[in-house]
Structure 1
Amino acid sequence: MSVFQTTPLPPRVLFAAPSSGSGKTTLVCALLQALKERGLSLAAFKSGPDYIDPMFHRRVLETPSYNLDLFLLGRGEKGAARARQLLAKHGEGVDLAVLEGAMGYYDGVGTGHEASAYDLAAATATPVIVVVDGRGAGLSLAAVLKGMASFYPDSHVAGFIVNRVKPMVYAHFKKAWEEGSGLKALGCFPEMPDCTFSSRHLGLVTAGEIADLREIMQKLADQAEKSLDMEAILECGGTIVHRRPFVVRRREGHLMVPQSSIKRCAASLSHNDERRTMNDERFPHIAVARDEAFCFYYEDSLDVLRQCGAELVFFSPLHDKVLPPCDGLYLGGGYPELYAGALSDNVSMRQSIARALVQNLPCFAECGGFMYLHEYFRTADGRRLPWVGAVHGETFMTKSLRRFGYVTLTAGTDSLFGPAGIQIEAHEFHYSDSTDSGSTFTAQKAGSARTWPCMVVQGNLVAGYPHLHFAGNPEWAAHFVQAARRHAAPGVSR
């Protein structure tokens, strides 16, 4: 009997735009809140590597939002298949899965469309609603929409919403826009200055930093009910899906971690065992930093670690006094520079992490987590604030974006993630730099011949600026969990 079952993709719709800054996130949050109040079950997804937009989705739905990144999940059909698996898993049984595109709809790696929102729509046969900025536009908006829909024959574009336009202007041009573009108008959204989200160097501020977010979401939902054609949007997400079915084959009770990886990680694991406890030595405990300073994690990366047998223990380098008992440590990205003084003042936590790393605790630190492991953070006025000290040198903020984009990493030596020579898809996006960004891996920018050294490898420590997605290759997660299991002393209380 086959261990596979067939799972159809859920009803779904993807919101895209001609460019960044068109207001997709605000509109998607408004729609999610409005549909939630109607009693619909929803799932939210983000195209691309962005961490911040999914935080807004999560705050609205009070469940995780997931990234579907066709570079980090694996290039070509490998990534497309994994995206379909994740969409099927997280969208199983929902009334509608809402996908938010990144950047411009066709914008991908280099000058092409690889890993773009368009690629995601094509890989998952998802109908697309284009969000366009209507400020100062008349009939010319129809030309933009027609171009979006006809740029590729299989554009998947089914309709449009005009953002930042007065309802009376929308009503005046609606017929002309529909006739000129050949697309269905699905409503408009006026400018709402009291409902905007602030931005800073890495994009929008995080959802947790907006004190009146609930009130803002309610206003946005009320407006969505007034000026969006909700029934037509739901129909768009359902009827086109039924005409373009996709069936995903997945293992019963599993996500997408290959059995070979799991066996190498822990031969005796039972992934559906609900009896895991903090005292069960079979399951290594990986401490995950999660607070205001460290908040950039892909939910599926955490799920893959769990599937490989890890128990995740969340803690705060800002607020807790010491590292919790653990067999491994994961320091994700975020905004440590905004909390540099508080992180420095928490001496007991810094010393606790430093001692654990001296004892060769398996640790992966990416971007903000990598910064925190340095000896010092240099402030804008030249002060040097002590940080953990596991990585030599200092880190500091810069005035421009550094090494932005997708990269492929090649390991120059054995490490926590596997043997020398392995290749890992990753992404960099930071306004900071280091006096020593590492040299154990080589990064090659996607779509370019440009390369540079990166990543610090010291025993069981792997740290650097690149962000990884464990769902892209569960082998990395399996090696990490296996190292944590080896580090754990059998029979010794943590």
Structure 2
Amino acid sequence: MEQTAVARVLFAAPASGSGKTTVVCAIMEALRRRGLKLAACKCGPDYIDPLFHRAVLGIPSQNIDLFLLGKRWHGAAVARRLVAEAGADTDITVIEGAMGYYDGIGTSESNSAYAVRAALAAPAVLIVDGRGAALSLAATLRGFVTFRRNSGLQGFILNHVKPSVYTYYRQVLEEETGLKAYGYLPELPDCTFASRHLGLVTAGEIEDLQATLGRLAQAAEEGIDLDGLLQLAAGAPPLNWCDKKVPQCQPVRLAVADDEAFCFYYAAELDLFRKLGAEIIPFSPIHDAALPDCDALYLGGGYPELHAPALTANASMRQSIRTALADGLPCLAECGGFMYLQESYSDGTGSYPWVGALPGSSHLTQRLVRFGYITVTAEEDTLLGPAGTTFRAHEFHYSDSTANGTSCTARKASGTRSWPCIQASPTLFAGYPHLNLTGHPEQAARFLHAAAAYAAKRGASREN
């Protein structure tokens, strides 16, 4: 058992759309400009908010998802390890919540920001949208404090309010709720982050992001009690955690698609692959002519639908991937990566030929097709495990495919329904579900063992 002192604070909100990411980025950029060393984490499975964290800090942000990281206590144990490792030797670790503070799986608080706070023993600050309310804000805050006996809430920040409004109501809000006021952020119409069908646009798509962060940092210095937040975070108790030993694999080269179209990865999972013995080789299906020299391929999710013409135009890359997979290159493909491996994609205005390594075609719809946490059970032997192996995963996509696969069965975490998914083989695991193997190193090791076997086969063929 390890014990690490980690100054940490979790920022939550009553609901999505309260401005958590904007306020968190403002605070982190202001503290960074003070010369402090920070780490960042995000509750839940979201890929986009961590990209904003990385744009501010220049280092990966860790996803803390108790469901994806493992069953029961295991997920909490892995979460504590990730935060202890990320927050060691930093001045503060900032943890951004997801959705509303108590919103979890189904009608429960399981896997909510509240549950993450409890697992990490972190003080929490509620970010409240102050538009169109006055004393009613006290009712909102008091309700969140008293909803559970140990809410963990220590303070609040008002978003979208004028300085005069904050000054006028601060004392009464503190008196009515017992929470400490940690400041406000005013309306900043030139600092909003645009959204699209999967949430915010990615940080890399905002041309003037650094200028926007500068304005947010200035507003945070003027309106938010940064010294008070640092003091609150420093009061968090030491984290107790265990460092689970990972199985060692033969050194292999793992090609990871990383560009405008494919950017949805969990930092801890990539770190796990490195610990297991993989060298991560980033490449671009849009800009590079062919796959790099590699022993396995990881095609993550992202926004391939926004770059369909460019992906189609790179015929040499499509041919390179198709040939490699036909040769037995082990491949893990999730959501957008799965779509790219199929024969074609259509968006209502045109059809685009893609890799063609897998049967089927995908198309964009006008609604979320399947979304939420799921448990995936292998019905046959796959790259990641034999028949009967279970994986925790999530789906969130507006597209669908004519061939989603039948190698596995997905079941909603709530148990309400199930459906077939995944095209798989001993060298393939491809489908809409997003995985996070961080809490399941044995399955990640199986992927890399297949990569080592492929490398040995290639070596033998070269010698002959």
TM-score of the two chains, using structure 2 as the length reference: 0.97
- State which of 372, 385, 402 in structure 2 corresponds to 1:405: 372
Aligned to 2:192: 196
- State which of 219, 235, 240 in structure 2 corresponds to 1:247: 240
- State which of 358, 367, 390 in structure 1 corresponds to 2:357: 390
2:325 aligned with 1:354, yes or no? no
Give deviations 1:243-295, integer Å, cap 9, x for gaps: x4432233xxxxx4x34x33xxx3xxxxxxxxxxxxxxx41111100000000
Shift of 1:9: 4.3
Rounded to whole Å, the distance in 2 between the matches of 1:160 and 1:470 is 35
Please say if residues 9 and 122 of structure 2, whose CA atoms lie closer than 8 Å, have aligned partners that are also in contact.
yes
- State the superposition RMSD in angstroms: 1.3
Mapping of 1:11-90 within 5 angstroms? Answer: 11-90=7-86
Shift of 1:8: 1.5
Please say if residues 257 and 299 of structure 2, whose CA atoms lie closer than 8 Å, have aligned partners that are also in contact.
yes
Shift of 1:391: 1.4
Aligned to 1:183: 179
Rounded to whole Å, the distance in 1 between the matches of 2:24 and 2:426 is 44
- State which of 333, 352, 373 in structure 1 corresponds to 2:341: 373
Aligned to 1:290: 258
Superposed structure 1 runs of 4+ greater than 3 Å apart? 490-494
Shift of 1:30: 0.4
Please say if residues 19 and 105 of structure 1, whose CA atoms lie closer than 8 Å, have aligned partners that are also in contact.
yes
Rounded to whole Å, the distance in 2 between the matches of 1:249 and 1:196 is 40
Aligned to 1:328: 296
2:208 aligned with 1:212, yes or no? yes
Rounded to whole Å, the distance in 1 between the matches of 2:461 and 2:41 is 41
Please say if residues 31 and 224 of structure 1, whose CA atoms lie closer than 8 Å, have aligned partners that are also in contact.
yes
Shift of 1:459: 4.5
What SS does structure 2 have at the residue aligned with 1:288?
Answer: strand
The one-letter code of the counterpart of 1:470 is L
2:334 aligned with 1:341, yes or no? no
2:91 aligned with 1:98, yes or no? no
What SS does structure 1 have at the residue aligned with 2:444?
Answer: helix
Aligned to 1:236: 232
Give the number of equivalent residue pairs: 461
Aligned to 1:276: none
Please say if residues 6 and 238 of structure 2, whose CA atoms lie closer than 8 Å, have aligned partners that are also in contact.
no
Give deviations 1:85-120, integer Å, cap 9, x for gaps: 110011111110000000000000011011110010
Rounded to whole Å, the distance in 1 between the matches of 2:117 and 2:424 is 38
Aligned to 2:124: 128
Shift of 1:236: 1.2
| Structure 2: stretches of 5+ with no match in the other structure | none
Residues 171 and 403 of structure 1: CA distance in aligned 2, closer, same or farther (over 3 Å): same
The one-letter code of the counterpart of 1:449 is T
Rounded to whole Å, the distance in 2 between the matches of 1:459 and 1:174 is 61
Please say if residues 69 and 439 of structure 2, whose CA atoms lie closer than 8 Å, have aligned partners that are also in contact.
yes
Please say if residues 360 and 459 of structure 1, whose CA atoms lie closer than 8 Å, have aligned partners that are also in contact.
no
Rounded to whole Å, the distance in 2 between the matches of 1:230 and 1:375 is 52
Rounded to whole Å, the distance in 2 between the matches of 1:245 and 1:142 is 32
Rounded to whole Å, the distance in 1 between the matches of 2:78 and 2:267 is 14
| Structure 1: stretches of 5+ with no match in the other structure | 251-255, 267-281
Rounded to whole Å, the distance in 2 between the matches of 1:191 and 1:426 is 37
What SS does structure 2 have at the residue aligned with 1:490?
Answer: helix
Please say if residues 77 and 242 of structure 2, whose CA atoms lie closer than 8 Å, have aligned partners that are also in contact.
no
What SS does structure 2 have at the residue aligned with 1:420?
Answer: coil
The one-letter code of the counterpart of 1:191 is E
Shift of 1:176: 1.1
Rounded to whole Å, the distance in 1 between the matches of 2:239 and 2:256 is 35
Give deviations 1:33-81, integer Å, cap 9, x for gaps: 0001111110000000000000000010011111010010013210000
Give deviations 1:2-39, integer Å, cap 9, x for gaps: xx6x2314010000000000000000000000001111
2:280 aligned with 1:312, yes or no? yes
Aligned to 2:437: 470
Rounded to whole Å, the distance in 2 between the matches of 1:109 and 1:472 is 19
Give deviations 1:270-321, integer Å, cap 9, x for gaps: xxxxxxxxxxxx4111110000000000001101111111111100000000
Give deviations 1:433-456, integer Å, cap 9, x for gaps: 001111110001011231110000
Shift of 1:493: 7.3
2:402 aligned with 1:435, yes or no? yes
Rounded to whole Å, the distance in 2 between the matches of 1:153 and 1:320 is 55
Please say if residues 110 and 448 of structure 1, whose CA atoms lie closer than 8 Å, have aligned partners that are also in contact.
no
Residues 134 and 149 of structure 1: CA distance in aligned 2, closer, same or farther (over 3 Å): same
Rounded to whole Å, the distance in 1 between the matches of 2:462 and 2:207 is 41
What SS does structure 1 have at the residue aligned with 2:42?
Answer: strand
What SS does structure 2 have at the residue aligned with 1:391?
Answer: coil
What SS does structure 1 have at the residue aligned with 2:329?
Answer: coil
Rounded to whole Å, the distance in 2 between the matches of 1:136 and 1:359 is 61
Please say if residues 259 and 286 of structure 2, whose CA atoms lie closer than 8 Å, have aligned partners that are also in contact.
yes
What SS does structure 1 have at the residue aligned with 2:297?
Answer: strand
TM-score of the two chains, using structure 1 as the length reference: 0.92
The one-letter code of the counterpart of 1:354 is R
Please say if residues 9 and 247 of structure 1, whose CA atoms lie closer than 8 Å, have aligned partners that are also in contact.
no
Shift of 1:180: 1.1
